[in-house]
C-alpha cells in the first residue's frame, strides 16, 4: 500500500469518529501530492472566526444568530456558490480546490458548511437526499433543511417531497429515512463516488484506480467497487 493510501487508512480507520475535513483533504493526495492539509484546516478555522465576529455577542451569538451569520459569511463575504456552469469538473469534489475557488457541488459545499458549523457548535448534519445532497439543522424539535448549492436556500417538507418525486417518481413518499443524518463515512464515500463516475466517463484509468482504492478502504466488503477496481487494474497493466 502506498504512503498516501496508508495515511488515508489511518485517518478514517476509527469508525465514524474521524475529522471529515482532514479526511476529505487527505483523500485527494493522489491528485495533489504533499498537499498542505494543515494550511487548509487553518483556513477553515479562520472562516469560522469570521462567522463568530459576524454573529457578535450576547443574544445574537445564539445558535440561530450564528446560522444567519454563517450564511452571510459563507455565501456573501466569502462567496461560496454552486458551480452550475461546469458541474462535472472534478475540482468541484476536491475540498482544497473548493476552498481556493469558492465553488463546488452539493456534497462538497455541504461538507464545508457543516465543518464551519461544527466549529461554531451548530447542530448541522449532512442529508443524503436522493439526487441532491443537503444539510439539516436541528433547532430544538424543529428540523431546517438547507441547500448550500443554492446559496443556503431553506426547504420545507413540501419542497423536499417535490424534489423526491422528481428524482424517484411521482408516487414516491417522503419517509423518515430520507431525513436521517448522513454519517461522515457516507459523506466521504459520496464525494469519492462522484469522482469515480467522472473518471469513468472520461476513461481516466489511473485516477479511477486511485479513487476506487480509497473507496475500498472505506468499505472493504463492497463487491461492486472491488470488481471495478480489479477491472481497471487489468486495463492499466495493458497500458504499460
Tens of pLDDT, residue by residue, the chain (240 residues): 889 999 999 999 878 889 999 999 999 999 999 999 999 999 999 999 999 998 875 444 556 788 999 999 999 999 999 999 999 999 999 999 999 999 999 999 999 999 999 999 999 999 988 888 999 998 878 888 999 999 999 988 888 888 888 888 887 788 788 889 999 999 999 999 999 999 999 999 999 999 999 999 999 999 999 999 999 999 998 876
User: Which residues, listed in sequence order, are joined to residue 82 by a DSSP beta bridge?
Assistant: 104
C-alpha 226, offset from chain centre: 23
On whether the CB atoms of residues 191 and 107 are closer than 8 A, the answer is yes
> How high is the pLDDT of residue 190?
94
CA neighbor of 160 nearest in space, from 134, 196, 194, 198:
134
Predicted local distance difference test score (pLDDT) of residue 41: 98
pTM here?
A: 0.93
Size of the chain in residues: 240
> What is the DSSP annotation of the chain?
--HHHHHHHHHH-STT-S-HHHHHHHTTTTTSTT--HHHHHHHHHHHHHHHHHHH-SGGGGSHHHHHHHHHIIIIIIS--EE--SSTT-GGGG-HHHHHHHSEE-HHHHHHHHHHHHHHTT--EEEE--TTS-EEEEEETTEEEEEEGGGTTEEE-HHHHHHHHHHHH-TT----GGGGSPBPHHHHHHHHHHHHHHHHHHHT-HHHHHHHHHHHHHH-TT-HHHHHHHHHHHHHHHHH-
CA dihedral for 181, 51, 24, 6, sign (positive or negative): negative
What CA–CA distance (Å, rounded) separates 227 from 221?
A: 11
Can you say how many angstroms the Cα of residue 123 is from the centroid of all Cα atoms in its chain? Answer: 16
Give the pLDDT of residue 58: 47
pLDDT at 56: 77
Q: Please state, in angstroms and rounded to a whole number, the distance separating the CA atoms of residues 108 and 28.
A: 13
pLDDT at 240: 66
53: number of Cβ within 10 Å: 11
What cell was used for 180? Answer: 436521517
Break the chain into its structural domains and give their ranges: 3-239
Q: Which residues pair with 144 in a beta bridge?
A: 137
The rounded distance, in Å, linking the Cα atoms of 218 and 13 is: 8
Amino acid at each position: 500500500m502506498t504512503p498516501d493510501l496508508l495515511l488515508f487508512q489511518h485517518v478514517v480507520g476509527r469508525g465514524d469518529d474521524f475529522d471529515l475535513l482532514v479526511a476529505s483533504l487527505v483523500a485527494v493526495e493522489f491528485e495533489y501530492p504533499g498537499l498542505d492539509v494543515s494550511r487548509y484546516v487553518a483556513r477553515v478555522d479562520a472562516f469560522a472566526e469570521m462567522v463568530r465576529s459576524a454573529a457578535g455577542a450576547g443574544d445574537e451569538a445564539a445558535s440561530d444568530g450564528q446560522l444567519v451569520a454563517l450564511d452571510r459569511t459563507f455565501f456573501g463575504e466569502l462567496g461560496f456558490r454552486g458551480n452550475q456552469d461546469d458541474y462535472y469538473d472534478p475540482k468541484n469534489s476536491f475540498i482544497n480546490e473548493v476552498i481556493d475557488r469558492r465553488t463546488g457541488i452539493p456534497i462538497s459545499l455541504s461538507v464545508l458548511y457543516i465543518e464551519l458549523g461544527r466549529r461554531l457548535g451548530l447542530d448541522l448534519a449532512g442529508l443524503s437526499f436522493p439526487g441532491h445532497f443537503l444539510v439539516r439543522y436541528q433547532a430544538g424539535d424543529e428540523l431546517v433543511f438547507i441547500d448550500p448549492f443554492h446559496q443556503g436556500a431553506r426547504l420545507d417538507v413540501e419542497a423536499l417531497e417535490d424534489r423526491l418525486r422528481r428524482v424517484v417518481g411521482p408516487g414516491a413518499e417522503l419517509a423518515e429515512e430520507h431525513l436521517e443524518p448522513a454519517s461522515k463515512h457516507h459523506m466521504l464515500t459520496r464525494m469519492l463516488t462522484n469522482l469515480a463516475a467522472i473518471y469513468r466517463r472520461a476513461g481516466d484509468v489511473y485516477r479511477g484506480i486511485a479513487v476506487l482504492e480509497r473507496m475500498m478502504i472505506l468499505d472493504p466488503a463492497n463487491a461492486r467497487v472491488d470488481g471495478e477496481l480489479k477491472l481497471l487494474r487489468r486495463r492499466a497493466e495493458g497500458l504499460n
